[in-house]
Structures are given as structure tokens and as C-alpha cells.
Structure 1
Amino acid sequence: MEGIDHRMVSVNGITMHIAENGPKDGPLVLLLHGFPDFWYTWRHQISALSSLDYRTVAPDLRGYGDSDSPESFSEYTCLNVVGDLIALLDSVAGDQEKVFLVGHDWGAIIGWFLCLFRPEKIKGFVCLSVPYIPRNPSVKPVQWFRAVFGDDYYVCRFQEPGKIDGQFARADLRSLLRNIFTGRPLGPSILPKNNPFGENPNPTCENIEFPTWFSKKDLDFYASKFDKTRFTGGLNYYRAIDLSWELTAPWTGAKIQVPMKFMTGDFDMVYTTPGIKEYIHGGGFAAAVPNLQEIVVTEDAGHFVNQEKHQEVTAHINDFFTKLQNKNQSF
């Protein structure tokens, strides 16, 4: 995209690709993507926030896009990925002691860990889709997911290296990506073993009208990247969930103290998973995040709310960060 600069940065033993824009002395906003995605998910926010004099930096997290993809899933724990981001901030933040953070999906999860491990580096966090849920010391996450949602729950299906990767590889890539980004499945997400991505994926999906927010050009760009990288790098984040749980035992009971705003779509697969709405709105979320300032549920929006309702999301990001910079304003 025009106006967006791209470069490679050496961080934490890997080479990371970043997209950036905006004045070098502007407040830095770090934009973190989820699965299956890369920097391009923030294309609208990069341009819009930069026009408001923020400096925006959107990395391809390890395993995605043009960044390195370590082979072993053990190199995708929260400590590995947060280590990448701390090194990235040391490289790009300059004199800024604190930066703003925005995360979606796995980017939100990594954002939670960044706020937990290094809160002194974060001015404020806009979290999209995935709320912070404190570590349960009694049971490993995958075991809990399997007990509650069954063996075909997507997190459980992603665990065995190679198996689901092959099913992703055999699926029609363009149909799969289009269904992921423009579909609105309500949670929990179940992937049947024999037909995980639905019956007869339509290889002529380009003949179906695209939504206004996701064009054929967007699909072309996503397909060009995932045709090269495929999905194993992203799947490795799920395979490292239990290892991350083991490594974060010292943070059991810890709360997020960073000022935070939460946003989701009313058709988001996470938001519509049983128990999540009650947790978000019933006080559990606020208890775990004492500095939670606002919860925004965007109407008629799915999981990729940052793309689908990009103008609304950008306005909320700017409003929250502006108020944090002008502390005399109330939320």
C-alpha cells in the first residue's frame, strides 16, 4: 500500500518484518495481528492513525508473513513472542518510554502478556476480541478446552503437528481465506475431523459478491502470502499454549494494571462462546483488569471487527489514546 514503509528488523534471534507509517516523533502505536493474519489486517488503522500524527508499527509476528518461522512449536511461547516485541520496541521506540498497544485475536493474547510482563512500557491497550482470563493453576488449557468443548474444538484440533496442517494445505486456499475473513460462525468453533472447513468449499468464490470491507484485491494479497507461508507458523501458537501455561506459573493470580479498552463484534466467535459474555459483562473481566475503562460491543460485526468496521474501530482507538494523553479528560 502506498505511504507504508516496510523493513526487516533483527529481534530476539529472528528477523521480523514490520510495516510502519507516520511521523517519527509521533506517539508510537504497536499493532499486533492474530490468526491467520499478518500486518495487512491493520492497513486501515495504519493509514488513519498516521494521518492523526501517530507513528504506527505493525509487525508480522514470528511464523507469519515475511518474518522468520522457527520450526519447533516450543519457540512460540508467550515468552518468545513477547521477547520479540520488547526487542522491537527497543529498536523502534527511540526516546519514548511508553507506547500505545492494539491487539486482535492472538495479538490481543500476546498484548495481555506484554502488559503483564512489562507494564511500564505500555501507556494503554485497546484489546479486540479476546478478553484477559487469568491463569488457572489447576488445569492445563488444552485439557480444559477438551473437557468443555470436546476433541473437535479448534484449539484441540490444532494440537497434533502435521495433521491439521495437511488439511489446511489440501483446502482451496482462496475459498478458505475468504470464509475465514468474511464468515460469521458463532462460537465455539468446531472443526470436524473429516471435513473441518465445511462441505464442498467453493473454488469459484470470486463469482460471489465481496463485502464492501473485503475486496478481491484484499483476498489476492492474503492468498499471495499464505500460498508461501501456509499455516504452520500460526498453528504453533496453539501448540505452545500448554507450555506457556507452565512458564507463566509465577504470574498466577496477577492482574492487568495497564489502562485498557475492550472491543468486540456482536457476532464474534469468541464473544458468542458460552460463558464469555457473562464473564465480560458480569464483573469477572473488570476484576482481572482493574484499569478497564470501557467495553464496546460493535453491532453487526464479526471476528475481524478491525477490518469490517475499521472507521469505527479507529475512532475508538484514537479517542481512548487521546484521553490517556490528556489525563484531565474523563472516560
Structure 2
Amino acid sequence: MEGIEHRTVKVNGINMHVAEKGQGPVVLFLHGFPELWYSWRHQIQYISSKGYRAVAPDLRGFGETDAPSSISSYTCFHLVGDIIALIDSLGVEQVYLVAHDWGAIIGWYLCLFRPDRIKAYVCLSVPYWPRNPKFKPLDGMRALHGEDFYICRFQEPGKIEAEFAKTETENVMKSFLTDRSTGPPLLPKEGEVLIPKDTTPLPSWLTQEDVAYYASTFNKTGFTGGLNYYRNFNLNWELTAPWTGSQIKVPVKFITGDIDVVYTSFGTKNYIESGAFKKDVPLLEEVIIQNGVAHFNNQEAAEEVNNHIYDFINKF
């Protein structure tokens, strides 16, 4: 973590923790769940060495950034508002955006609401899903996958947090980060063991030090802040009605692994291959499918992802 500076910025009524390194055009990194700025450790070092200013916040509800108690404080407007205020605080008009998982969803909202602030977007794992005016997202998820689908299980405040609390946080983090199952993620029913103790060795790309960093942070904060993102799916659907049918008008490169749980679920593979993704994102320049790579590709395949990011943003 050599040379990475940490500071706190006041944004949109909250205090946001930011890690950054380097000088030059800003590359802004947005993490997912259950992650932190730390998920971008490899990218920060690489991109800053190439003449860019790498900036990676802990998002609202995560790490050392404030976590408002109200679930409704985690809508897409709050999350995008935080990032616009952060960009303003950096003293720049535009940034290169790189985002993964929930950060990727925020990234799409950013491109939808404020394309004037984004030069180009490197999106990892989660493609743009246009708003379907016919039904609410959670209704669709329940109909397709049932109540055991992980996002459905995340809805009731406090319930999944209590399930996580039955095992060590280190074990929770290891379970998330090393999972290589494909297809819709279903969680065991109530009363069953949610996260069994895993004694398998860590993969080469994840160290015990990495797991311990995540665990020590989530031990302090808990998981509620990040889970509240999932609890706003239907509210976000209501709030974004004015953007129904809108396209994303920002240059995009999309990178995912062929065993990423998002790629192998939700009809994602077909959405990409059918050309529908390109129709919704007309400036989509390239889709990269990484062989044998799972969900956390910015960590698992860091060198390859680094090169893809640099090659793309260097064009603009």
C-alpha cells in the first residue's frame, strides 16, 4: 500500500473516506459489496504509475465513510450525489470511471444522470440493465428465483446481518471473495448453516492479510450499510421512471469472467450476445470475457484488468 494517501472529504452531507495516489487525470474507482477502497489496491498502484491520479473512496455505508441509519438514505440519487460531490471536491470537470459490482450499478446511474462528468467508463461484472416499466425488480427476482434468492434474503432489516453474525467475519469475507459457484445465488433457508467453516487454502490472488483487512473493517462497521443498497431496488425503480427507455451515451468497455455469478445468471450472457447490451449502450466499444475468472475479477485477474483499463482510458 506504499504511497497511498488517505483523507476524509465532506460530500452530500456525509464524511467520505478516500484513498488516492498519483498525479494527472483522475481515474475514479467504485467498489462493490462486501468490499472497500482496498478492492482496488492493485489498480491504484498500476494506474498511478502510468501518469494518472487514482482515487478510490469507501462508498456510503462502507469502511470509514459515514453510514446513515435510514434505509432510504441509500437510493441511487444519494449514491450518485455522493460521487458528483466527490468529483467536485477533486477540482475536475470529468473523470475516467472504473467500477465493479454495486459500484458498477452506481456507475451506470452516473452515466445516465450525469454523462457530462464521465470521460469513459470501464465497467466490471454488472452490465447496464434498463428499467422495465412493467414490473418492480424485486417482484421479478422473486418470480424467477424464489424467496431464497440472495437479494430477496437481504431485504428484511437485521435478518441477514444476524445470520452473518453466527460465524466469524473473516469466514464471511472468505466465503464471498472465493465463491466460484455459477447460476443464481440461493442462500440456505432459515435455521440452516448460511456460511459453513471453509478450511480450503486461499487462492493465489487473495492473501490472509487481505482477508484480515476486510474482516477487521467489517467487524467495526457491520454489513448493514452495504445491505441497504439492496433494500432500495424497488424504490430506485420508482425514482428512475423518468429515464425509462434512455440509453447510456458514454464510451464503455465491459469486462467480466466466464464464471462470474452475474454473467451466468439473470440472462446476462444472452443479453450481451444478442446485441441488446450494445443497443442500450450504443458507445459500448468492447466486451471482454475472461476465461476461468469469477466475480471479483479486479482482484483475481488484476494484471489483465489493469492492462484493459489503461488501454481503454489512454484512448481518450
- Out of 149, 153, 158, the position equivalent to 2:149 is 153
Alignment partner of 1:178 is 2:174: yes
Q: Which runs of 5+ in 1 are unaligned?
A: 326-331
Q: 1:196 deviation in Å?
A: 6.0
Q: TM-score, normalised by structure 2?
A: 0.98
Matched pairs, number? 315
Provide, for residues 96-119 of structure 1, a one-character-per-residue CA deviation record: whole Å limited to 9, x for no partner: 322100010000000000000000
Q: How does 1:1-331 map to 2 (within 5 A)?
A: 1-23=1-23, 26-92=24-90, 94=91, 96-194=92-190, 195=192, 197-198=194-195, 200-202=196-198, 205=199, 208-323=200-315, 325=316
Query: Which amino acid in structure 1 is aligned with residue 186 of structure 2?
Result: I
Partners in 2 of 1:279 and 1:210 — Cα distance?
33
Query: Which amino acid in structure 1 is aligned with residue 152 of structure 2?
Result: C
Provide, for residues 10-45 of structure 1, a one-character-per-residue CA deviation record: whole Å limited to 9, x for no partner: 00000000000001xx11000000000010000000
Distance 1:196 1:32, change over 3 A: farther
Cα contact 2:74–2:229 (8 A) shared by 1: yes
Query: Which amino acid in structure 1 is aligned with residue 107 of structure 2?
Result: G
Query: Which amino acid in structure 1 is aligned with residue 42 of structure 2?
Result: H
Q: Which runs of 5+ in 2 are unaligned?
A: none
Identity percentage of aligned residues: 57
Query: Which amino acid in structure 1 is aligned with residue 14 of structure 2?
Result: I
Q: Report which stretch shifted further, 166-175 or 128-137.
A: 166-175
Secondary structure of 2:133's counterpart equals coil
Q: 1:192 deviation in Å?
A: 1.9
Distance 1:196 1:141, change over 3 A: farther
Partners in 2 of 1:176 and 1:28 — Cα distance?
33
Q: 1:197 deviation in Å?
A: 2.8
C-alpha RMSD of matched pairs (Å): 1.0
Query: Which amino acid in structure 1 is aligned with residue 203 of structure 2?
Result: P
Query: Which amino acid in structure 1 is aligned with residue 8 of structure 2?
Result: M
Q: TM-score, normalised by structure 1?
A: 0.93
Partners in 1 of 2:76 and 2:266 — Cα distance?
25
Partners in 2 of 1:192 and 1:210 — Cα distance?
23
Cα contact 2:71–2:228 (8 A) shared by 1: yes
